[in-house]
Structure formats: structure tokens, C-alpha cells
Amino acid sequence: MNHYMLAHSPAGERGGKYGDYAIGVLLQFMEQSCGSLSGVEAMIFGGANVVGNISTGDQIGARNIALARETLKKHNLKVVKEQVGGTVGLKLHYQNWDNNIIVQPMASSAMTGSLLVRAEASVAKPAAPPARSPSAPAAAGLSSPPPAAGGRRIKVLIVDDSAIVRNLLAKALADEPDITVVGQAKDAFAAREMLLERGPDVVTLDIIMPKMDGVTFLKKLMVYHPLPVIICSTIAKSGSQAELRSDKIGAVDVIDKETLNLYSGLNTVKSILVPKIRSAARTVVHKKTKEEVSGL
């Protein structure tokens, strides 16, 4: 089984999250272990459009699906099953005793990669374990659920072009027992990758950033991957156009960054930001259409 996040790796970069590199390594390992790829069959799952197209070109999921198909064809491997595309991520359960795959839709997912599953032919299967009844697939909703109960920490992604601001916000949240900062992104493009890799529950988002402003990124999130977003910007004054636009697009809260007194200690940051993050994590954010956000 091979799960990759993006289809093609940038020049000179190699890693398991890139399909063109990861699939090649997997096939090479299988060939070395088995002697050949003769008799190997494949299944392709995933490629859902759950984050959307932030950069130009085809959507991420579509590119991942195409890469899987092209690679399998190149190696003359037969595809025996596909369940790809759509707007909802998939959760896979592989039963190694009978090579069956149980597929469940996810209510909300940060995964856009294609899952490439290899089932080797002529491999002796172990005796089936005691019968079990997999739970029925969950309803494929379009909204982000509240964080899981049971003491799991709220995962926060901080998006701001200032490294100083990012570090100060992260430091303010560092000793909260129920909150963990899973990433710091300097722009929307870095934030997209961290969304895919780390699945945050809440995002704090600046507005004035290079490459893509925060309001535009917020629109894309609400259309393709709705989740609680707290706008944190110096231009988001109470009653300002920035505050009103962010609220209409779908931000769960808006903070005027100046009220945090970032450079005068962390007490004010904690008193304002921490309660808002906890409240945001309990908020269900609903998916919007492109038409709904286009004029905002």
C-alpha cells in the first residue's frame, strides 16, 4: 500500500509524499523481494477533491489519479479495482488474510493523495481470523466535525508571513494542555501542504500575505476543505470591511492583531486567543459553493 500526497516532486527533491518517487521505490522493493512483478495486480483509491486547486493547473487529486494509472500502465500492471475522485476522502482497512479492502467515506479529510494498493499473486494466505463485523460506513458529510473527545489535543496551524508573529503565537499556545501547534506556514501554499500532512482542527490566518492573501485562501478553504478559521490580522479592525468579509465567507472568529499586544508579553495573547481556539474547535463549519463566496 502506498499513500502519496502530491503527484510530482520538485526538481532535486525526493520523498515519500511524492507519487512519482514513492511508487518507483515501492515497485523496486517488490521486484527485488519477489524476483519480478509478474502476476501483481493493483487497486487505486482516493484522489478526492477535498482541498481544491490553490495553485494553477489541474486539481491535486486528478493529478494523483492520473499518475497512478500512468505508472501502472508503464509497468504492465493490471488494475482490478478503482474508487477514485469525488469530494470526500476515504478511509481504507486492508484485510491481510483475504486481500480485501473495506472502504469508508470520511466526513472531512485533509487527504488528496491516491492510494495505490498492490495485491501479490500466488502468496499463501494465512488462515482467516475470527469473524468480525466492520462497522457500517459513516455518512459522507460535507462539514467539519468537532475535535474528537477523549482528551485529544486541538491541533492548530498558524498561517502568517511574519516568522516573529508565528513564533510568538506558537509560544503562547505551547503550554496549553489541550492545544498543540502542528505547523507554522508563511503563506497559503505552505499552509496547503501542512493541511494535507497534518490535518489541523483550527487555523489562525493572517490576511496580508505574499502570493495569496488570507481572504482568498479563506474562500478556497470554505469551498474545498471547510474547517474552523480564526482571522488574525492588523487590518481586521472591529467593523472593518476585512472583518465583515471574513465573517461572511465563513471565518468562525476575527481578531484585530493589535489587540493581542504581541510584543508586550504573552499574557494578552493567551487571554484572547486560547478561548477563541477552544470555541472554534467545537464549531461545525459547513461547505460553501464557489458561487456563494465569489462576490464576497
Q: What is the mean pLDDT of the chain?
A: 79
Gap between the Cα atoms of 55 and 278, Å rounded: 31
Residue 21 shares a structural domain with residue 112: yes
The three three-digit cell numbers of residue 171, written as one number: 509560544
The three three-digit cell numbers of residue 72, written as one number: 501502472
| Last residue of one domain, picked from the residues 112, 140, 168 | 140
Gap between the Cα atoms of 99 and 206, Å rounded: 47
Lowest-pLDDT choice from 111-115, 244-248, 263-267: 111-115
Q: Higher model confidence: residue 254 or residue 140?
A: 254
Residue 263 lies in a domain: yes
Residue 16 lies in a domain: yes
Res 179 pLDDT > 90 = yes
Residue 146 lies in a domain: no
Domain harbouring 219, CATH code? 3.40.50.2300
Residue 249's pLDDT is 93
Residue 50's pLDDT is 60
Residue 147 lies in a domain: no
Query: Domain containing 108: what range?
Result: 2-140
Lowest-pLDDT choice from 6-10, 12-16, 58-62, 109-113: 109-113
Residue 16 shares a structural domain with residue 62: yes
Gap between the Cα atoms of 153 and 284, Å rounded: 17
Residue 209's pLDDT is 92
Residue 204 shares a structural domain with residue 135: no
Cβ of 4: how many Cβ atoms within 10 Å?
Answer: 25
Residue 162 shares a structural domain with residue 40: no
Q: Higher model confidence: residue 144 or residue 14?
A: 14
Residue 240 lies in a domain: yes
Asked if residues 54 and 189 have their Cβ atoms less than 8 Å apart, the reply is yes
Reported as a single tens digit per residue, the pLDDT across 35-86 is 788 888 888 888 877 655 444 445 778 888 888 898 888 888 888 888 888 8
The three three-digit cell numbers of residue 120, written as one number: 501479490
Residue 129 lies in a domain: yes
Please give the tally of structural domains in the chain: 2
Lowest-pLDDT choice from 26-35, 62-71, 94-103, 259-268: 94-103
Residue 211 shares a structural domain with residue 233: yes
Residue 158 shares a structural domain with residue 136: no
What percent of the chain lies above the pLDDT cut of 70?
Answer: 78
Within 13 Å of residue 34, how many CA atoms lie on the same side as its CB?
A: 17
Cβ of 1: how many Cβ atoms within 10 Å?
Answer: 13
Residue 12's pLDDT is 62
Cβ of 209: how many Cβ atoms within 10 Å?
Answer: 22
Query: In whole angstroms, how far apart are CA 49 and each of 81, 116, 253?
Result: 20, 17, 26
Residue 111 shares a structural domain with residue 161: no
Q: Higher model confidence: residue 180 or residue 101?
A: 180
3-class DSSP state of 14: coil
pLDDT band at 165 (very low <50, low <70, confident <90, very high): very high
Domain harbouring 35, CATH code? 3.30.1330.200
Gap between the Cα atoms of 216 and 235, Å rounded: 15
Asked if residues 59 and 227 have their Cβ atoms less than 8 Å apart, the reply is no
Reported as a single tens digit per residue, the pLDDT across 214-246 is 999 999 999 988 999 999 999 988 888 889 999
Which is it for strands 229-233 and 2-3: parallel, antiparallel or unpaired? unpaired
The three three-digit cell numbers of residue 9, written as one number: 516532486
Residue 135 shares a structural domain with residue 180: no
Residue 85 shares a structural domain with residue 109: yes
Residue 58 shares a structural domain with residue 110: yes
Rounded (5°) CA angle 98-99-103: 115
Residue 160 shares a structural domain with residue 126: no
Residue 119 lies in a domain: yes
Residue 177 shares a structural domain with residue 259: yes
| Last residue of one domain, picked from the residues 113, 140, 167 | 140
pLDDT band at 97 (very low <50, low <70, confident <90, very high): low
